[in-house]
Structure 1
Amino acid sequence: MRHSHALLAALLLTSSPASSEVVDSIGAFSKTFSALAPGSVVEVADGTYTAKGGMKIVGKKGTEEKPIVIRAQHRGKALIDGTAGFTLRGCEHVLLEGFVFIHDADQQSVMLQNCHHVRVTRNTFRPVERAKPKHWEHWVTVDGANSGDNRIDHNLFERKVNRGSPVFVRGDDEALVCSQHDRVDHNHFRDVVFANGENGHETIRTGGNDLGASGRSSFTTIEDNLLEHCSGEDELMSLKSSDNIVRRNTLINCRGAICMRLGNRTEVSGNFIIATEDGPGFGGVKLYGYEHRVFNNYFQGLTGRRHDAPFALVPGMHDTPTTENIGKKYDDNTATSPTKCWIAHNTWVDCAPLQFGFEKEEKGRQHIPTACIFINNLIVRTKLMSTPLINLGMMRDLKAQGNMASTVEPASTAEWAGWFRFAEPQSLLEKKGEGPWRLTAKSPAIDAASEAAAKISDDIFGHARKTPADIGAEEFSQEAAKHAMLTADKVGPDAP
């Protein structure tokens, strides 16, 4: 069934969200939509809906107990075609569920403007990108100074080629206010195509240049997502805001790195970042800014260098107490040197060198990483590699202690070698099936961590940390893991 000119939606006003009306005509949509109220349920019949100009929902406010529900009658069977998807303005407690977006990507699939508690869930996003795009093509965007507490979850985002991000949580650049406390979780992102150095191909973005350079906080949580072959550019996640959480995500064969681009105090924890394919540029985490915490992450097989290294502390262009002092004094390359960042209890297996500063100054990047702590980390190589564990450049006041390493190549006499206690790789880790390398029962990393000023309550698998703790991302335990690497059946529209 094909319905021209519009997605059809309909209205059922009822005190019980369990009641609904299935409709399939644009006439019903245009006549009844303005009366949407708390508890209204819209169900869209199976078919392809060609929306000219998109669906605009303005000022509709449900409640926590009685949300407004707009959903496909059967998940994945109502297709949104035409020129655009949904635009919601000033809406609260609205649910969009179960659609497939195949419209022209020149306009967003879902635009939330000044919305609160809107949930975008169990949809599939594959809008048709133009051969010659007019502008950046974002798919799901959160905008406006009055946005916050929205959730984007259990969706599938697949194959992106043009500039723009599948998910962009921003706010208001003019008012210098971020959308706050939004959550991006349990989504499946796959096949963001490598753009050969062109900027603007991040898979997930928060904030923006004005917001990040002004030190604005978004408190965005990005958790429990699976990213596969998301390789658009060297910043596969670009956070230009402060006080975010990036945790328990699984990244498989993604070029680029999770980048703290402009902002402070973000937590990156419990992520699995793994490359199983050959090729350059598979990166880990890159830090700019102040007081970030990177802990309990597992990295394997990463091949990136310098800016997209398995871990990178990169010199910056500004030397300020915090990023809010930059203000309008920025350009697209603006970044502050990583300062007072805390890197603890991470594990790297068979990775390219970690990058600590640069040996010589890059153009405009004269401010070196300062007063960072590198503690209780584990680096293991199970095979011969021609590169060192660490590329050490210019740093200031780095504190490195309690770390352990093993290599099959001869011991290094470089300055960084003093950061580590060295052990045999066979006694440290073992491979169990297709998952990550795990500690052995006799591993010298067990109970060997230095006491850290900041405590970590659990490990990457959700096991409680003991005192003294184990070195690396894992705390050895015979208990079942609470968290593990994500697979496709655990995320996306059909996941539990």
Structure 2
Amino acid sequence: MAQTFTDAEDLVDAVNASTNGGTFIVKNGTYNDFEATFEVMATAVTPIIIKAETVGGVTLTGESHFVFKKSAHITLEGFVIDGVGDNSLIKLEGCNNIRITRNIFELVTEESIKWVYIGGVYNDNTKPFVYPSHNNRIDHNIFQNKTTPGHYITIDGTTDSNDVAYQSQYDRIDHNHFKNNGPRAVNEQESIRIGWSEMSQSSGYTIVEFNLFEDCDGDPEIVSIKSSDNTVRHNTFKSSYGTLSFRHGNNNRAEGNYFFGNGKAITTSPDGATLYTGGIRIYGKNQVIINNYMEGLTGTRWDAPITLTLGDAIDGQSSSLSKHFRAENVLIAYNTLVNNSHGIEIGYDNNNAYSKDLENITIANNLITGSENALVEIVDTDNDQGDNITWKNNLFFPKDNAVLLAGATSTSFDMSEVVNENPNIIFDADSGTWKTSATTPLYSNGVTNESISEDIEGQMRPTSSNPGADHFSTESIRYKPLNSTDVGPDAYEIDDTSESLYLSSIAPFPASEASQNVTITSNVDWTVNNSTNWVSVTPTSGSNNGSIEISVLQNPTFSTRSTQITIEGGNISRTLEIIQGPADPKDGLILINDQSSNDNVSIHYVFAEEITDTKNNIAAHSLDKNFDTQWSGKNIDGEPGEIIFDLGGTYNLQLIDYASTNGKRYEFQIWTSTTGTAEADFSNAFPGESNLVCETNNDVFTSYKLPQVAVGTKYVKIIGFGQPDRPSDWNTISEIEFYSTVSLSTSSEPLQTRILLYPVPTKNQLHIKSLDTPVKNIKIYGVDGRLVLNQDVKMTSSEATINTSTLKNGAYIINLTNENSLNHSEIFIISQ
């Protein structure tokens, strides 16, 4: 039965005398100088709970504080400690399995105070320690309004008789709200410090997760990791000057964290230091930085989104553990940097104080885009790290005034290291982040020594996935940026035993028939609901973990199509979006200007060419298969200009591929002629439509499929209307390509003079007479390019007869191939 107290001494006596656990309640109210020291070893079976009558209902003022010595399996819950004085608010000495939960901490003091401290017993200094601290948890608390040095939380440990320090192990700090830590101190005002320099070779195995940091400005290091084997994951940093710093130690991991600058202005601290919002700073060996998101950060030098300075020591070669050990064997992968003032900064030497180069750094599959400064910068030019850094499969997209790389003397990027292309990210209002889309490129995994099986949202990440922290997926989202309702005393704590149903990601399907497997991770029975006729799913039900195969039929259209299926289990419903790419409109067509011996396409007429001392944008460049060259011409006296292409033969024109220059929008029309090049000879290939528009990158075609095949085309005229949006009279074609259904003249002259078709027009039968080599194959096409007959023939004489009674009235194209693979094509008419 629970006991209720209003006096600190009575509470201490009762708790310390407990031999069988119990619940000890402090009655709601305000208590001054409530000081309590506990020393009792409870057990997991018979724990002790010390709690406020209601969460937040007990306020402790003055020099109120708690101390736990040589204690275990105790929970302290629900207090508001609004204190003054020179004591830690909660101190753990040689304790394990102590939980500090759902409290609010505030302290007014002029001293450097560690608000919550975990350490050892001062005279327990012979290994193995009798009272090592371990497995403590600090969760769902608020730490606020710190104005003096000291930390909100300090994880320390025990020092042995040889002055070797060992950290408390397996502690967990989660779901806390840290806020308003400032102004900036010179040192020792981190919000969390894990270990210290003399403890850096000790393994802490501390987990810092699901915490929210807001306006934590007190130290250049918001969270300072100074020991080994710790994990910092799924935290959110908002509007905070400084960085998450891997300052000492090895084998630490930063995964799935969010960093937001939120427009916080650059300012100056009382000691004259410039304050920036920052990301992650890295020293030491074997650190892993994956799946982190950084947006709107202003930091540079120490505070860049990702900072790799040089070092002043090498691990194993210095007796001083307080130095800045160079980063070595570090993996930086699948991070997203969006709209920061800077990106990855390398080589800062702190005014020549650091001289140790980096060693074996891998930077892979990251996504960086921004509009100012450099996405990658060698901060001190002489400190380019060159081959000390391996770059793989990164997507870096500078916009506006940004550049890809600055300050480099030996570093440069090839396509296997960095691709400069549009990531096609979209803003997600729900999470407040920029996320990948269905059109974001997929890259192969550039990481060879680390399994990265999920993204920042906890969704499955396949081997070939989007660069950056987020992989596009319709799976349910497990991890989002945190806000104040997700942390602190009133936040809901998820029951790990509740129903779960998660789906692995699925990539967009190609236009052809295809299948993909989706992994289902679940602890319930589930069923699949699918009502789309071009999608099939097997199996349609299952239990617990399993997989389903999703298959799609060929997409016959030239548009992307999509649908959704749902998987339901228990009270959970998950939606999986199925996206299938469009058919290629060029499939089955013949490229006319293919640069073969049959390519006779040329420029017949051009109204203008941009030829100056520095530019040679001549019309022939539109046909040279080189996207680095172009034709440009300016309209004359406001009249649209013309460029006429001679196809070098007669063709059934079906499609034109057109590429212009990057970031500009051109309007034009396409006209065709079957006879000559006089104005009256041409007709609009897109009658009744407004001007066509081309708005592409330099090396990407836009396809324009004619609504009707332009049968017998000899000339193509492009009428350019410039760039009305700007406005500008300039027209540009980087490259143009012409596609036909069947060639009517190219490579056909040797056969053409020796073929006779009759009668024309015909009704039920078409007779073919070859005056030379017998015909082997006959194909007949409709004028829309559709193949309506494909027949091999064996001519025992020079004649063959084709049954045409099943064909409707109209114009058709017959293509004949002889034994020497020479072709002849011409139009014939059926009139029943």
So what's the TM-score if we normalise by structure 1? 0.88
Aligned position for 2:20? 38
Partner residue of 1:95 out of 44, 53, 75: 75
Measured in 1, the distance between the counterparts of 2:348 and 2:15 equals 62
| Per-residue Cα deviation, 1:264-301 (whole angstroms, up to 9, x for no partner) | 00010000111112323110000000000000000000
**For 1:450, what is the secondary structure of its paired residue?**
coil
Aligned position for 2:477? 481
Aligned position for 2:302? 307
Cα offset, 1:319, TM superposition: 1.7
Amino acid at match of 2:17: A
**For 1:389, what is the secondary structure of its paired residue?**
strand
| Per-residue Cα deviation, 1:80-121 (whole angstroms, up to 9, x for no partner) | 223240010000001100011112241111000000000000
Cα 1:412–1:315 change in 2 (3 A) is: closer
**For 2:465, what is the secondary structure of its paired residue?**
coil
Partner residue of 1:189 out of 178, 189, 208: 178
Q: Which has the higher contact order (CA 8 A, sep 6+)?
A: 1
Instruction: Give the conservation status (yes or no) of the 8 Å contact 1:461–1:484.
Output: yes
Measured in 1, the distance between the counterparts of 2:14 and 2:89 equals 22
Alignment of 1:408 onto 2:388? no
Cα 1:27–1:428 change in 2 (3 A) is: closer
Instruction: Give the conservation status (yes or no) of the 8 Å contact 2:117–2:156.
Output: yes
Aligned position for 1:161? 147
Partner residue of 2:311 out of 316, 319, 329: 316
Partner residue of 1:422 out of 408, 420, 423: 420
Alignment of 1:317-396 (within 5 A): 317-321=312-316, 326-327=318-319, 329-331=320-322, 334-358=323-347, 362-381=351-370, 384-385=371-372, 387-392=373-378, 393=380, 394=383, 395=385
Aligned position for 2:189? 201
Tell which deviates more after alignment, 446-455 or 392-401: 446-455
| Per-residue Cα deviation, 1:426-484 (whole angstroms, up to 9, x for no partner) | x244443561001111112x345435332201000011111212211111101221111
Instruction: Give the conservation status (yes or no) of the 8 Å contact 1:349–1:379.
Output: yes
Instruction: Give the conservation status (yes or no) of the 8 Å contact 1:306–1:355.
Output: no
**For 1:489, what is the secondary structure of its paired residue?**
helix
**For 1:96, what is the secondary structure of its paired residue?**
strand
Aligned position for 1:57? 38
Tell which deviates more after alignment, 334-343 or 169-178: 169-178
Measured in 2, the distance between the counterparts of 1:113 and 1:203 equals 20
Alignment of 1:459 onto 2:447? no
Alignment of 1:274 onto 2:260? yes
Alignment of 1:247 onto 2:233? yes
Aligned position for 1:13? none
- Name the larger-Rg structure: 2
Measured in 2, the distance between the counterparts of 1:35 and 1:453 equals 53
| Per-residue Cα deviation, 1:351-396 (whole angstroms, up to 9, x for no partner) | 1223443265634311122111000000012xx32x1111115225
Cα offset, 1:38, TM superposition: 3.1
Cα offset, 1:26, TM superposition: 4.7
Aligned position for 1:125? 105
Alignment of 1:255-274 (within 5 A): 255-274=241-260
**For 2:355, what is the secondary structure of its paired residue?**
coil
Amino acid at match of 2:419: R
**For 1:127, what is the secondary structure of its paired residue?**
strand
Aligned position for 2:776? none
Cα offset, 1:407, TM superposition: 1.8
Q: Which has the higher strand share?
A: 2
**For 1:372, what is the secondary structure of its paired residue?**
strand
Measured in 1, the distance between the counterparts of 2:362 and 2:193 equals 27
Cα 1:28–1:455 change in 2 (3 A) is: closer
Measured in 2, the distance between the counterparts of 1:335 and 1:296 equals 25
Measured in 1, the distance between the counterparts of 2:75 and 2:312 equals 43
Measured in 1, the distance between the counterparts of 2:172 and 2:369 equals 34
Measured in 2, the distance between the counterparts of 1:488 and 1:71 equals 23
Aligned position for 1:12? none
Measured in 2, the distance between the counterparts of 1:20 and 1:368 equals 61
Cα 1:202–1:35 change in 2 (3 A) is: same
**Any runs of at least 4 consecutive aligned residues in structure 1 with deviations exceeding 6 A, and if so which?**
none
5+ long unaligned stretches in structure 1: 1-18
Alignment of 1:492 onto 2:492? no
Cα 1:293–1:360 change in 2 (3 A) is: closer
Measured in 1, the distance between the counterparts of 2:310 and 2:481 equals 32
Instruction: Give the conservation status (yes or no) of the 8 Å contact 2:343–2:368.
Output: no
Amino acid at match of 2:188: G
Amino acid at match of 2:454: D
Measured in 2, the distance between the counterparts of 1:294 and 1:26 equals 46
Amino acid at match of 1:406: F
**For 1:93, what is the secondary structure of its paired residue?**
strand
Measured in 1, the distance between the counterparts of 2:108 and 2:405 equals 55
Cα 1:123–1:289 change in 2 (3 A) is: same
Measured in 2, the distance between the counterparts of 1:103 and 1:412 equals 51
5+ long unaligned stretches in structure 2: 121-128, 267-275, 493-832
Partner residue of 2:446 out of 441, 450, 466: 450
Measured in 1, the distance between the counterparts of 2:37 and 2:106 equals 20
**For 2:11, what is the secondary structure of its paired residue?**
helix
Instruction: Give the conservation status (yes or no) of the 8 Å contact 2:444–2:463.
Output: no
Measured in 2, the distance between the counterparts of 1:65 and 1:123 equals 24
Alignment of 1:437 onto 2:448? no
Measured in 1, the distance between the counterparts of 2:366 and 2:340 equals 14
Aligned position for 1:141? 117
Instruction: Give the conservation status (yes or no) of the 8 Å contact 1:451–1:468.
Output: no
Query: How many residue pairs end up in the alignment?
Result: 458
Cα 1:435–1:47 change in 2 (3 A) is: same
Measured in 1, the distance between the counterparts of 2:349 and 2:6 equals 64
| Per-residue Cα deviation, 1:234-266 (whole angstroms, up to 9, x for no partner) | 111111100000000011111100001110000
Measured in 2, the distance between the counterparts of 1:354 and 1:307 equals 12
Instruction: Give the conservation status (yes or no) of the 8 Å contact 1:403–1:449.
Output: no
Instruction: Give the conservation status (yes or no) of the 8 Å contact 2:90–2:115.
Output: yes
Tell which deviates more after alignment, 112-121 or 481-490: 481-490
Aligned alpha-carbon RMSD (Å): 1.9
Instruction: Give the conservation status (yes or no) of the 8 Å contact 2:333–2:447.
Output: no
Measured in 2, the distance between the counterparts of 1:181 and 1:228 equals 26
Instruction: Give the conservation status (yes or no) of the 8 Å contact 2:264–2:277.
Output: no
**For 2:107, what is the secondary structure of its paired residue?**
coil
